[in-house]
Amino acid sequence: MDSHEMTRRAFLGRTSIGFGATALATMLPASLTGAQSADPLSGLPHFAATAKRVIFLYMSGGPSHLELFDPKPALTRMHLEPMPESFTRGQPIAQLQNARLRCFGPQFRFRKAGQSGQELSELLPNLGRIADDIAIVRSMHTDQINHDPAHTVMNTGTQISGRPSMGAWITYGLGSECDNLPGFIVLTSAGGRNPQPISSRQWAPGFLPGRHQGVEFYSSGDPVHYVRNPPGVTRAQQRQTIDAVRELNAIRNEPLRDPEIDTRIAQYEMAFRMQTSVPELMDIASEPRHVREMYGVTGADGSFAYNCLLARRLAERGVRFIQLYHRGWDHHDNIVNYLRQCCGLCDKPSAALVQDLKQRGMLDDTLIIWGGEFGRTPMVQFKGSAPGRDHHIRGFSMWLAGGGVKGGVTYGATDELGYAAVVNPVHVRDLHATMLHTLGIDHARLTYRHQGLDMRLTGVEPARVVDEILA
Amino acid sequence: MGTTVVFRSCVAFTCASFLAALPSLDAGEKTVARVEFNRDIRPILSDKCFFCHGPDAAHRKAKLRLDTEEGARVIVGGKPAESELYGRITQVEGSKRMPPPKSGKTLAKNEIELIRRWIEQGGTFQPHWSFAPPKRPQVPVSRHPWPRNPVDEFVLAKLQALKLTPAPEAAKVTLIRRVYFDLLGLPPSPAQVKAFLKDTRADAYDRLVDALLTSPHFGERMAMYWLDLVRYADTVGYHGDQEHHISPYRDYVIKAFNDNLPFDRFTIEQLAGDLLPNPTTDQLIATGYNRVLQTTHEGGAQDKEYLAIYSADRVRNLGAVWMGATIGCAQCHNHRYDPYTQKDFYRLAAFFADIDERGAFKGPDQTPTKRPPEIAVLSPIDRAEAEAVRQQIAALKLKPNRGDDLAGREKLLAEIEKRKSLTMITKSVKPRVIRVLHRGDWMDTKSEIVDPGAPHFMKPIGAKGRATRLDLARWLTSAEHPQTARVFVNRLWYLYFGKGLSKTLDDGGSQGDWPTHPELLDWLAAEFTRPSLSRGRGAAGAGEIPAWNVKHLVKLLVTSATYRQSSLESDAHRKLDPGNRFFSRQSRYRLPAEMIRDQALAVSGLLADRLGGRSVKPAQPDGYYAHLNFPRRTYVADKGLDQYRRGVYTHWQRTYLHPMLRAFDAPTREECTAQRPISNTPLAALVLLNDPSFVECARVLAARIIKEGGKSDAERIAWAWRQALSRAPHEREVAALARLYQANRKQYADDRAAALKLTSIGAAPRPADLDVAELAAWTSVARVLFNLDETITRN
């Protein structure tokens, strides 16, 4: 390895957040960018991608598949009857430990929607209008039955802490197409039942370089930490300050020729650009009224609707992985009331996002994923003033749209009581493999050496691309 | 060849061929005198073959293993063409080809060539270096003027083989700044720099090192690193991430390093202080080590499930901290690259089965929450004070006229006692049953039950009856243990040279990097456990050096000529040692997060350098804890001096680490971190530019520039530069800052309201006697200083 090579590696190794190999390749002389066989990122994309970016609408808390996507008439018939032990024996259980397990019939009706006749809850009328654009997976399953570890499985593929989240993996693999925003951005909203905590480890870079971390944007205070100038400092003065830093760093680097200093100079420029681009991004005043109404946005209020509109703006700017958490789906009690609230907040903006991207021609290369860390039990939980459902991992539903996913499809099935995924089960790993596939990545080949092992998002267990839902 | 594993004596460490150019230099054309299994072949076989032909019998294909001499059955020594191994790896295609295409692994041409030559030369196997006890190798003798101690002899021998000369010694000002950061985590003050530059005695630098090793800040700096290893944090980590009581453990670590507690005792006290006869308070506090892991009381959590999670977490950490081993891989299956079996994993887990705890704790949903057992303790400083007062009381009681004095003393004692804080400790109870859980499944109730024990291929623990944590700790710290000393000295090396002698600080196993200087690593390990060098003149006095002596090792490293080199690269360095693998110069790298904070505080004069105490909460952005719940959290920043304490005392919230620390790569401490990544991101730039804590430091420094920096702009700039960067500025540097100052001076004179805003950031009082426009303009200058690459770079 010659010194140029070292320089390039150091440079590639420590540049801006999500400002990855793709963008850098265009900035470096061709002599420095020769492909290396040992580089796990060489050969990317592994095949033609159908998606350039992902928007993950993360319904945190665990939405009930039984009320939203997976109608179960048999469960209605067995309402409040004992849950057959054949389903539950030896299975993990969360808050219903030691309780008598009884069936709980679905609390809302289903309707057929679209040309495809997909069955969707009466709580999701707007989603019904885009039924022909989405693929519903009814056979999801996961490993962990409590929120914190289940989030970790959904985001990192394992419950062991310290592993990179999927957005970090993707920006590591593909870089960003944006030079004034991070490649992986997280937005959070709440509404519904008392929100479960969510940890920043869910968008952490794990053992990947820190620039791949998800950056949280806030709707109150500074949209990104420390993105505003200190009080009493104008933009021109900030420019002068950064110019002085740059000049002095450059003087320092004359004898050193240290690529790390060049990188730092570049990062200060990116920071300065972010100081404009971030507030500009968050300001939706320029969005026409009909667009705002389509999402149901009333202002920069941190609602899920506002965040969905921001997600589209981020997608337009080339951000690679956009993750929106809505915290409020943990319906142990009063599921009727809380589902109405959550669907009231999430149905319209989710559908609007799909429609809006479609009308802009961006749905074709944007993959949308909608769902939570797990589903809910077919069994009733009596807690609080009205009944609800407990956490459930053996079968639940999610939907995907755009980015090469077939519309108007329902895939997989749970058993007659909605307990376990029995037809074409899709593990979280399979979802990850499928997501990576749309981005042109073979999940088995996106690796990073850590503690002597070639680690990957999908881990060591088998993972399958769900071809059946891909166009 | 029989099936028994015949380990040859560990020839790897003394083999002279080491001085030949390493094939792993990536230079295929370099000639290699002799191919060696451990250095050249094992890394290839491990990466490409062990997954199916390694130590894991359950996963082994064709009953072939290539990690030991059993692999010799596919080799005909001296005859590659007749060896099945070689035949298989040179198959172009077909079912016989190895590695098979579906493994995703391929052998490079030069790897195949190395294997061919290895077989040609006999094809002998060696046991893995990190499983054989370190022996003290001969120190090479160069008769060269450069070496200052044995460390340098080892380094020089390798440099000479590469036809490289060491870099010249760093300038004194660079050296003092480097060693201050490395030993104390703080920059030297300009007065300290001046005194050192004036000291022309031949041993001025050694004297400086001796003085620094007696500073209480040494313990703080070492704790920064140790706390990353043991994943110390102030909160429970899972779910609601409430605070738990543990900060006295952090103070114990600081004190242990300051007192130079021998590393074997340090190890024993943390793992098993409660099992020592009549444990002291410190020894009980130390056992907080076993309790500082992530825990939960989330509603649906099952007791047994989380007991299994904690158990595995502890084995992972034990393996990572002391053994430099990725034993965690063996939780669900035998290790695929190293000889750890799944049973080994659970035998190690069984050592911790006696810890009094719950899987799903009871809560409550408040912060701090409760994690019994906890005890109330005084800080080391308070404890000393209480003891003194107790003695005074005892003395007073003997006097006839004790009246008011005694009452006063007793009142004082009561006040001190009130400052007690709770801390989690380890209490031993009847051990729980530990099984070899099938695929790690906690619901498994049928698999084999195991007792505590060492990994099967290592020296047995040899306890009478059921082995305890104390036996485990003693086993780890026996001088023959192949890992503990090597792992620790490798990490010390990393702290002072920027990377380890073996680059993989967290994996000394098959997949880890072969050390660049294995003899040096072993010599250091031997010198650590059984010091041979006599004590020079120094703070601790003359005489024999006790075993497991951390400060002895630190001193050896930082007084070496290797350490004292300049980091400036010559063209020869860039060409012959591009990655500085052979330490032909010092390294330059960005400071750790805490030091960046501490430096700004120290340079401004705001630093409150009190030792120990509860964790503190410096300012952070509002709403950062908005996604926490059970209970909902509002961050209340500390007031007064507590806002200005060193980063090592910052409240460590696992799920939402302070944004400044995060931006500079401090870990969340969910798992052991032996080496922090060093990123270079716009988010970090935004912290230094705009974080009110840094702006506050800048404007407080600005006031000092005006008051203490002299009269002219140039004088003041030079003064400020010395505060922040230790050295004097060059003309062009002064000119750049002078321009900035003049421009800002004008702008703020025209907008005094803006100047007032800028100079009011933070809680420190704004000196009313200073012109606000002038103060604001110097604040801009100080902000630039805090943002310079050189300021935040250890050189």
Q: Count residue pairs from A and B with Cβ separation < 8 A.
A: 249
ipTM of the complex: 0.89
8 Å CB contact of A451 and B510: no
Backbone angles phi, psi at B99, to 5 degrees: -65, 150
A354: enclosing H helix or E strand: helix A335-359
Question: Confidence band (pLDDT; 50, 70, 90) for A341?
Answer: very high
Measure the CA angle with vertex B125, ends B124 and B130; round to 5°: 145
- Whether residue A287 lies inside any domain: the answer is no
Dihedral of CA atoms A207, A212, A216, A222 in degrees, nearest 10, equals 120
For residue B512, give both structure tokens: 């880890």
Say what percent of chain A tops pLDDT 70: 92
Residues of B in contact with A6 (CB under 8 A): 574, 578-579
C-alpha pair distances (Å), B435 with each of B312, B345, B391:
12, 10, 52
Residues A161-183 have a mean pLDDT of 92
**Residues paired with B237 in a beta bridge:** B295
Inter-chain residue contact A95 with B108, CB threshold 8 Å? no
pLDDT mean over B107-113: 88
Contact: B682, A147; criterion CB under 8 Å: no
Domain count, chain A: 1
> For residue B525, what are the CA distances in angstroms to A92, B152, B327, B521?
47, 15, 22, 6
Which tens digit of pLDDT belongs to each residue from A78-101?
999 999 999 999 888 889 988 999
Q: What token pair was written down for B400? A: 């006839």
- A79 in a domain, yes or no? yes
pTM, entire model:
0.89
- State the smallest CA–CA distance between residue B139 and chain A in angstroms: 30
User: Which residue in chain B has the smallest CA separation from A240?
Assistant: B740
What does DSSP assign to residue A229? Answer: P
Question: How far apart, in whole angstroms, are the C-alpha atoms of residue A285 and residue A307?
Answer: 14
CA distances from B702 to A239, B772, B785 (A): 20, 11, 11
As a whole number of Å, the end-to-end CA separation of chain B is 53
Q: What is the pLDDT of residue A126?
A: 98
* Residues of chain B contacting residue A36, judged by C-beta atoms under 8 Å apart: none
Confidence class for position B299, pLDDT limits 50, 70, 90:
confident
Q: Which helix H or strand E contains A212, and what residues bound it?
A: none
**A77 is a domain residue:** yes
Instruction: List the structure tokens of A106.
Output: 């679905």
| CA atoms of A197 and B114, how far apart (whole Å) | 54
A392 occurs within a structural domain: yes
Domain span at A90: 3-26+44-228+296-469
Verify whether the Cβ–Cβ distance A224 to B511 is below 8 Å: no
Which chain B residues are Cβ-neighbours of A221 within 8 angstroms?
621-623
Dihedral angle, C-alpha B386, B550, B477, B14, nearest 10 °: 180
- The DSSP result for B464-510, as a single string, is SSS--HHHHHHHHTSTT-SSHHHHHHHHHHHHHHSS-SSS-TT--ST
Beta strand segments in A237-331, E: 321-327
With CA atoms as reference, report the closest residue to A68 among A371, A309, A445, A421.
A371
**Could you read off the pLDDT of B206-264 as tens digits, one per residue?**
999 999 999 999 999 999 999 999 999 999 999 999 999 999 999 999 999 999 999 99
Indicate whether A201 belongs to any domain.
Answer: yes
**A422: number of Cβ within 10 Å:** 14
**Residue contact B299–A92, C-beta within 8 A:** no
- At residue A152's C-alpha, the angle toward residues A150 and A157, to 5°, is 100
DSSP 8-state class, residue B7: P
Is A148 in Cβ contact with B296 (below 8 Å)?
yes
pLDDT in tens, A39-72: 778 888 999 999 999 999 999 999 999 999 999 9
Sequence-distant (≥ 6) Cβ neighbours of residue B359 within 8 angstroms: B301, B302, B303, B304, B305, B306, B307, B308, B309, B310
Q: Tell the burial category of B639 from Cβ atoms under 10 Å away from its Cβ (0-12, 13-18, 19+).
A: exposed
Whole-Å CA distances, B62 to A460, B5, B82, B357? 21, 18, 19, 45
The owner of tokens 């008439």 is A73
Q: How many angstroms separate the CA atoms of A139 and A150, rounded?
A: 17
A211: chain B residues, CB-CB within 8 Å = 679-681
Mean pLDDT of chain B: 91
Query: Is the pLDDT assigned to residue A5 strictly greater than 70?
Result: no
Q: Are B472 and B481 in contact (CB under 8 A)?
A: no
Q: Are B655 and A199 in contact (CB under 8 A)?
A: yes
Please name the residue of chain B whose CA is at the shortest distance from the CA of residue A15: B680
Reduced to 3 states (helix: H, G, I; strand: E, B; else coil), residue B143 is coil
DSSP state of B321: I
Does residue A263 lie within any of the structural domains? Answer: no
B511/A452 touch (CB, cutoff 8 Å), yes or no: yes
Task: Answer whether A451 sits within 8 Å of B511, measured CB to CB.
Answer: yes
Peptide bond into B482 cis (omega under 30): no
Can you give the CATH number for the domain in which A89 is found? Answer: 3.40.720
**Per-residue pLDDT averaged across A395-421, rounded?**
98
pLDDT tens by residue, A108-157: 999 999 999 999 999 999 999 999 999 999 999 999 999 999 999 999 99
CA distance B228 to B667: 7
Read out DSSP for B46-89?
HHHTHHHHSS-GGG-STT---SSGGGGGG--TT-GGG-HHHHHH
Whether residue A160 is contained in a domain is answered as: yes
Q: How far is CA A368 from CA A353, B60, B527, in A?
A: 9, 41, 59
Give the integer Cα–Cα distance in Å for A433 and A469: 13
| CB burial string B246-284: b at 16+ within 10 A, e below | bbbbbbbbbbbbbebbbbbbbbbbbbbbbbbeebebbbb
Instruction: Give the per-residue pLDDT at B146.
Output: 97
Nearest to B185 by CA among B542, B620, B740, B647: B647
Statement: residue A18 has pLDDT above 60: no
Look up tokens 């650590």; give the residue: B528
User: What distance in Å separates the CA atoms of residue A369 and residue A324, rounded to the nearest whole number?
Assistant: 10
Chain B residues with CB inside 8 Å of A93's CB?
300
Q: Which residue of A has its CA nearest to B298?
A: A146
- Please state which of the ranges A13-17, A151-155, B456-460, B566-570 shows the lowest mean pLDDT: A13-17
Is the CB of residue B88 less than 8 Å from the CB of residue B97? yes
- Coil vs helix vs strand at A322: strand
Token output for A263: 């990188």
- φ and ψ at residue A356, rounded to 5 degrees: -65, -45
Compute the distance between CA of residue B358 and CA of residue A147 in angstroms, rounded to an integer. 19
DSSP B435: B
Residue B589 has what pLDDT?
96
Nearest to B326 among A17, A232, A451 (CB): A451
Indicate yes or no: CB of A241 within 8 angstroms of CB of B695.
Answer: no
Residue B607: C-alpha distances to residues B398, B600, B604 (Å): 44, 8, 8
Cis before B368 (ω within 30): yes
Q: B240–A256: do the CB atoms touch at under 8 Å? A: no
Among partner residues A197, A215, A245, which is closest to B239 by beta-carbon distance?
Answer: A197
Q: Which two tokens stand for residue B173?
A: 């000002």
Residue A266 lies in a domain: no
